[in-house]
Structure 1
Amino acid sequence: MRAQLARVDAVLVQAVIAAALSFAHLHDVASAAGQDGWKAWAYPISVDLLLVAAWRRLRAGDAKAAGWCWFVIALVASLGANVATAGLLDLDQVPAWLRILVAGWPAVAFLGGTLLAHSAPSPHEDTESIEAQVDASELVPALPAQPVPEPTPAPPVVSVPAALVEHARKVAAEHRTRTGEAIDTPTLRARLGIPAPMADAIAAQL
């Protein structure tokens, strides 16, 4: 555990030292190219942020061509500044082409950062998203089909002669007088000697 922590600490210390030196070299080149004050400090931040954005795009696995392009551009800018401060360039007499490159860097960095931030996802990523949605839909159990109830057939319409209805009224009145109760359908059917559907139709009219 201690050995692992020691290795991690060594890597972190090395990364901090390298970043600080690169930051200082970029600042010195920008300052020598006429970018004074806060602007000279903004240049190394811009280069490092573009490096990080390009590296993250490469790690994400999509738009690798754009990621490699802007990673190389930012790496060249950082490496060029480090080499330039090694005595190969007179920082008191900076050539015009370097001043032009330094002055044009903000536009280049802005373009690179915008393209990296708004690049479309790769088709592989879209395919994985669709497959995930399909898998999620398969987890929902299918509901069993509910049986459709059959419609109840309507009772047939029975035509009853008016004379038979009138006779049934007399039978019903005689039954009430004799028993004191209204005649029921089975009794009416038995008294008249008619089928059950006709008896029901007559009882509905009484």
Structure 2
Amino acid sequence: MTRSTVRVDAVLVQAVIAGALSFAHLHDLAAAAGQDGWKAWAYPVSVDLLLVAAWRRLRSGGTKAAARCWFVVALTASLGANIATAGLLDLGAVPAWLRILVAGWPAVAFLGGTLLVHGSPQPQAAPVPEENPTVQDKAPTPAAAPQLPAATPESALPRIAPVPPALVAHARKVADDHRARTGTPIDTSTLRARLGVPLPLAEAIAAQLA
């Protein structure tokens, strides 16, 4: 028999003895607090299961705040029973507050176990890599513009309506004012800007002013 086997066996025996003593203390305290029969035996099982569940949650990773909290609660219940049955408490006259704690323990253990089981971190699914498209979407071919009949030279020339005489007279005043200020005849672009008329009409007016 190797040393490692002896060491493991010794630890296991020690754990069994400690667990049995703690189990008995919890049973005695529950029985003294008025939980007789099978109920007194169920209390140590409840405390030990909550302790184990909290320890497993601590070892599993993830959020450990709740696991630490319920581990401390279960450890306090177990340690408190061990201390209470060590002669510091008269088991024949258990105080009312301790009876209330023992009677309320099942609800506390049920809440802690439920939160530890259903609050355990769920494994996250691995993200699915996006597939690179092998063929790029082709841009839609624009629809062909309708073919218009070829314009004849005569139809291509813009048709200009006759220039009103009043507009010609006003344009002449604008041209004279421009010549007086600049000393040069007014060009078509400036005339168009001053009159605010389209370019073909401005060219017709400039032709009449020439």
Question: Contact conserved, 1:53 with 1:113, CA < 8 A, in 2?
Answer: yes
Give the structure with the larger helix fraction.
Answer: 1
Deviation at 1:63, TM superposition (A): 2.3
* Runs (5+) with no aligned partner, structure 2: 136-210
Match of 2:12 in 1: 12
Structure 1: which 4+ aligned runs deviate by more than 2 Å? 142-145
Deviation at 1:51, TM superposition (A): 0.2
- TM (normalized to structure 2)? 0.60
Question: Contact conserved, 1:63 with 1:119, CA < 8 A, in 2?
Answer: no
Measure the CA separation in 2 of the matches of 1:17 and 1:109: 24
Measure the CA separation in 2 of the matches of 1:21 and 1:43: 14
- TM (normalized to structure 1)? 0.61
Question: Contact conserved, 1:58 with 1:64, CA < 8 A, in 2?
Answer: yes
Match of 2:114 in 1: 114
Question: Contact conserved, 1:50 with 1:112, CA < 8 A, in 2?
Answer: yes
Deviations, residues 85-118 of structure 1 (Å, cap 9, x unaligned): 1100000010000000000000000000000011
* Runs (5+) with no aligned partner, structure 1: 146-206
Question: Contact conserved, 2:57 with 2:120, CA < 8 A, in 1?
Answer: no
Aligned residues: 137
Q: Counterparts of 1:98-177 in structure 2 under 5 Å? A: 98-119=98-119, 121=121, 129-130=124-125, 132-134=126-128
Deviation at 1:8, TM superposition (A): 0.2
Q: Counterparts of 1:176-191 in structure 2 under 5 Å? A: none
Measure the CA separation in 2 of the matches of 1:98 and 1:120: 32
**Percent identity (aligned):** 76
Pick closer, same or farther for the CA change 1:81–1:56 going to 2, 3 Å: same
Instruction: Provide the aligned C-alpha RMSD in A.
Output: 2.3
Rg larger for:
2
Matched, 1:38 2:38: yes
Measure the CA separation in 1 of the matches of 2:31 and 2:55: 27
Measure the CA separation in 2 of the matches of 1:7 and 1:25: 27
Name the aligned partner's letter for residue 2 of structure 1: T
